[in-house]
Structure 1
Amino acid sequence: MPAVSSKGARMPESPIRKLVPFAEMAYKQKKTVYHLNIGQPDIKSPKIAMDAVAHHSLEILAYTRSEGSEPYREKIADYYKRNNIMVAAKDIVVTTGGSEALLFAMGTIADQGDEIIIPEPFYANYNGFATASGVTIVPVISKIENNFALPPISEFEKLITPKTKAILICNPGNPTGYLYSREELETLAAIVKKHDLFLIADEVYREFTYDGLKHVSILELEGMAENGIIIDSVSKRYSMCGARIGCFVSKNATVIQTALKFAQARLSPPTFAQIASEAALNTPQSYFDNVIEEYKERRDTLVKLLEEIPGVQVGHPKGAFYCIAQLPIKDSDAFAQWLLEVFDVDGETIMVAPAAGFYSSEGVGKNQIRIAYVLEKDSLIKAVNILKAALLEYQE
C-alpha cells in the first residue's frame, strides 16, 4: 500500500475541529450543543458587504491580480492609515484568509529547519502551518498565573540560534485574549532589530479591545519597516469568516516581492470575496462600537461565572473573544469528548476546545480549555452552568 508523507503524518489535528464527529453524534441523539469551541461570531456580517455581492455587475467571474485588486488594496491602505499604520497599496498582498498570509510569511522568511519563536499558548494552526512549511516552532511559555503576559526578554534571547528567523505573536491573542502593551511590543522590536530577525504580528482581532485599552500595531513602532510583517483578515473584524480574505503587509520591498511569488503560484484570491471585503471597509464605526460592547458584556459574564466554579482558574482577556480556563481535571481532551458522548443536562451539552493543541511544548495545557465567547449572553450562562455540573459529575 502506498504511504503518505512523513510531513502528512506529522500534521497535527485541529483541537478546534477534531471533536466534530462526536458533536454530530450528539446531534443524532437530539442533544442541543452549545459551541464554545470555535471563533465563529454570531454577529451579522455588515449589510453593505452582503449587498455588494448580491448586486454585483460582473458578467465574467475573472481572475484578479495575484496581489489582489488595486482598488481594494488602496482602500486597505486607507484603512491602515486611519489606524496610524502608514503603508501603501504596494506594501499589501491580498491572501485567501489570514491562513494563507501566515503560510506566505513562513515561506518568505524561512527555509527547511529554520526556527520561529512563538509565545505559547498560540493559535493552534501555527503548528500546522509550521509543519507544512518545514519550520520548527520554538516555544516560550507564557502562564495563566500572570495572565499570559509577555515572558521576560531573557527567555527569548536564550532561545535565539543561527536558525532563528522570526518571532511570531498574535495581538490581541488567540487563545488567551491577551493584549500586548506598547512597552512589550517595543521590547520585541528591540530584540528583532538587535538579532536581525523578523517580527510577525497576527493582528486579525485589532478592533476588539476592552477596558479603554487600544491596540498598537508593530508597524506603528519606529524603525520596524524592514523587520515587521502584519498578518490580517476580514474574518473576525466583519464577521465574514467564510469570505476567506486576508492580507500580508510589510514595508520591506524584498519581503513583499517574495511573498508575491507565492501569491502568483496560487493565481489570485477569490473575486466575489474581494468585492464583499472592499465594501466592508465602508462599515460605520457604530457597527464596531456595538459589537465591542456586546463582546465586553459576554466576557464579563463568562469570566465572573467561571471564577465561581470551584477549582477553575481563568485568564482575563483584554481583547479578541477567547479565554483560557484551567480546570480541576487531568485531560481536557478526554473531558471534551465525554461532554459530547456521555454528558448532558436536560438534553443540552457543550463543545469546548482542549487547550493542549494551542501549545507545542509536550504535556503543557492538558488541564486547560479555550472558550470562545461568540454566543449571546443567555446561551453563555447556560453553557457555563452545564460546565459546572459536568465538572462535578466528571470528578466523581
Structure 2
Amino acid sequence: MPSISQKGQVMPESPIRKLVPFAEEAKRKGIKVIHLNIGQPDIKTPQVALDAVKNNTLEVLEYSRTEGSEAYREKIADYYAEKGIEVSANEIMVTTGGSEALSFAMGSIADNGDEIIIPEPFYANYNGFATASGIKVLPVVSQIEDNFALPAIEEFEKLITNSTRAILICNPGNPTGYLYTKKEIQKLAEIVKKHDLFLIADEVYREFAYDGREHHSILREPGLDENAIVIDSVSKRYSMCGARIGYLVSRNNKLIKTALKFAQARLSPPTYAQIASEAALSTPQSYFDEVNKEYTERRDVLIAELEKIEGVKIGKPQGAFYCIVELPIKDADDFAQWLLEDFRINNETVMVAPAAGFYATEGLGKNQVRIAYVLERDSLKRAVNILQEALKSYIG
C-alpha cells in the first residue's frame, strides 16, 4: 500500500470541526444541536456586500491580479488610514481568507525546522499551518488566572534561538478574547527588534473591542516597519465567513515580494468575493457600533450564566467573541462527544470545542472548552443550562 507522508500523519485535527460527525448524527436523530463550537456569527452580512454580487454586470468571470484588484487594495489602504495606520496598496496582498495570508507569511519567513513562538492557548489552526510549513511551534503559556494576559517577556527570551523567526499573536485573541494593551504590544515590539525577528499579528477581530478598550495594531508601532506582518480578514468583521477573503499587510517590501511568489502559484483570490468585500468597506460605523453592543451583551449573559455553575473558571473576553471555560472534568474531548451522543434536555444538546487543540504543550487545556458567543442571548442561556445539567450527570 502506498504510504502517507509523515507530515500528513502528524497534521493535527481541528478541535473545532473534528466532532462534526457526532453532531450530524445527533441531528439525524432529530436532536437540536446548539453550536457553541465555531465562530460563525448570526449577524447579518451588510446588504451592500450582497447587492454588489447580486447586481454586478460581469460577462466573463476573469482572474484578478495575483495580489488582488488594485481598486480593492486602494480601498483597504483607505480603511487603515481611517484607523490611523498609513499603508499603501502595494503593501497589501489580498488572499483567500486570513488562513492563506498566514500560510504565505510563514512560507516567506521560515524554512523547514525553523521556530515561531506563540502565546498559548492560540487559534488551533496555527498548529496546522506550522506543520504544513515544517515549522516548530514554541509555546509560551498564558494563564486563565491572569485572564490570558501576555506572559512575561523573559519567558519569550528563554525560547529564542538561532532558529527563531517570529513571534505570532492573535489580537484580540481567539480562543481567549484577550485584548493586548498598548504597553504589551510595545514590549513585543522591543523584543523582536532586539533579536531581529518578525512580529506577526492576526488582527481579524480588530473591530470587536469592548468596555471602552481600544485595539492597538502593531502597524502603529514606530520603528517596526521591517518586522511587522498583519493578518486580516473580512470573515468576522462583516459576517462574511464564506467569502474567504483576507489580506496580508506589511511595510517590509521584501516580505511582500516573497509572499507574491507563493500567491502566484495559486493564481488569484476569488473575483466575486473581492467584489463583495470591496463593497463591504462602505459599511457605516453604526453597523459596528450595533454589533459591538450586541456582542458585549451576549458576553455578559454568557459569563453571568457560567458563573452560576460550581467549579467553573472563566476567562473574561475583552474582544472577539470567544472565551475559554475551565470545567470540573478531566477530559473535555470525552465530555464534548458525550454531550452529542448521550445527553439532551427537551431534545436539545450543545456542541463545544475542546480546548486541548488550542495548546501546543501536551496535556494543557484538557479540562477546558472554547465557547463562541455568536448566538442570540436566549440560545446562550439554554446552552449554559444544558451544560450545567450535563455536568451533574457526566461521569468521566
TM-score under structure 1 normalisation?
A: 1.00
Partner amino acid, structure 2, of 1:61: L
What is the alpha-carbon distance in structure 1 between the residues aligned to residue 58 and residue 28 of structure 2? 42
Determine the structure 1 residue equivalent to 2:56: 56
2:11 corresponds to? 11
Q: Secondary structure at the match of 2:394?
A: helix
Give the structure 1 partner of residue 182 of structure 2: 182
Q: Give structure 1 stretches of 5+ with no counterpart.
A: none
1:298 and 1:267 mapped to 2: Cα distance? 41
Match of 1:204 in 2: 204
Instruction: Name the amino acid aligned to 2:67.
Output: E
Mapped partners of 1:372, 1:189: distance in 2: 30
Task: Report the alpha carbon displacement of residue 332 of structure 1 after superposing the two structures with TM.
Answer: 0.1
Give structure 1 regions of 4+ aligned residues with deviation exceeding 4 angstroms.
none
> Tell me, what secondary structure is at the counterpart of 1:320?
coil
| 2:384 pairs with 1:384 | yes
Q: What does 1:125-140 correspond to in 2, within 5 Å?
A: 125-140=125-140
CA offsets 1:225-244 (integer angstroms, 9 cap, x no match): 00000000000000000000
Provide the C-alpha distance between the structure 1 equivalents of 2:176 and 2:303, rounded to a whole number of angstroms: 12
> How far apart are residue 84 of structure 1 and its match?
1.2
- Residue correspondence of structure 1 range 57-96 to structure 2 within 5 A: 57-96=57-96
d(CA) in 1 for partners of 2:328, 2:107: 40
1:160 counterpart residue number: 160
Q: Secondary structure at the match of 2:139?
A: strand
Alignment-mate amino acid for residue 209 of structure 2: T
Alignment-derived partner of residue 192 in structure 2: 192
Q: Percent of aligned positions with the same letter in both sequences?
A: 71
Q: Counterpart of 1:93 in structure 2: which amino acid? A: M
Match in the other structure for 1:272: 272
The residue matched to 1:224 in structure 2 has which SS?
A: coil
The equivalent residue for 2:261 is: 261
- Please give the secondary structure, in 2, of the residue aligned with 1:34: strand
The CA distance in 1 between the partners of 2:61 and 2:236, in whole Å, is: 26
Instruction: Determine the structure 2 residue equivalent to 1:237.
Output: 237
Residue in 1 that maps onto 2:304: 304
Kindly report which structure 2 residues correspond to 1:288-367, keeping only aligned pairs within 5 A, or say none: 288-367=288-367
2:45 counterpart of 1:41: no
Aligned residue identity for 1:51: D
Give the counterpart letter for 1:299 in structure 2.
Answer: R
- The 1-side partners of 2:195 and 2:118 are apart by 16
- Which whole-Å CA distance do the structure 1 matches of 2:33 and 2:189 have between them? 43
The residue matched to 1:390 in structure 2 has which SS? helix
**1:308, distance to aligned residue in structure 2 (A):** 1.1
SS where residue 190 of structure 1 aligns?
Answer: helix
Cα distance in 2 for residues equivalent to 1:210 and 1:87 = 26
Deviation at 1:268, TM superposition (A): 0.2
Superposed displacement of residue 29, structure 1: 1.3
Whole-angstrom CA distance in 2 between matches of 1:305 and 1:59: 53
Partner residue, 2:223: 223
Please state how far the C-alpha of 1:9 moved relative to its aligned partner. 0.5
SS in 2 for 1:381: helix
Structure 1 CA distance, aligned partners of 2:311 and 2:231?
37
Deviation readout 1:351-372 (Å, 9 max, x if unpaired): 0000000001001000000000
Give 1:28's aligned amino acid: R
Look up the match of 1:147: 147
- Measure how far apart 1:346 and its partner are: 1.4
The 2-side partners of 1:90 and 1:153 are apart by: 33
SS at match of 1:370: strand
1:298 maps to a residue whose letter is R
Instruction: Encode CA deviations 1:65-112: one digit per residue, 9 max, x unaligned.
Output: 000000000000000010111100000000000000000010000000
**Does the residue aligned with 1:255 lie in a helix, a strand or coil?**
helix
- Measure the CA separation in 1 of the matches of 2:65 and 2:31: 47
Q: CA deviation at 1:395?
A: 4.0
* SS of 2:4 mapped into structure 1: coil
Superposed CA offset, 1:96-130 (max 9, x none): 00000000010000000000000000000000000
Q: How many residues matched?
A: 396
Q: Deviations over 1:265-291 (max 9, x none)?
A: 100000000000000000011110110
**2: CA distance, partners of 1:48 / 1:133:** 37
Q: What SS is found at the alignment partner of 1:172?
A: coil
The CA distance in 1 between the partners of 2:322 and 2:395, in whole Å, is 25
Distance 1:240 1:13 in 2: 24
The residue aligned with 1:32 is 32
- One-letter code of the match for 1:343? F
Is 1:102 aligned to residue 98 of structure 2? no
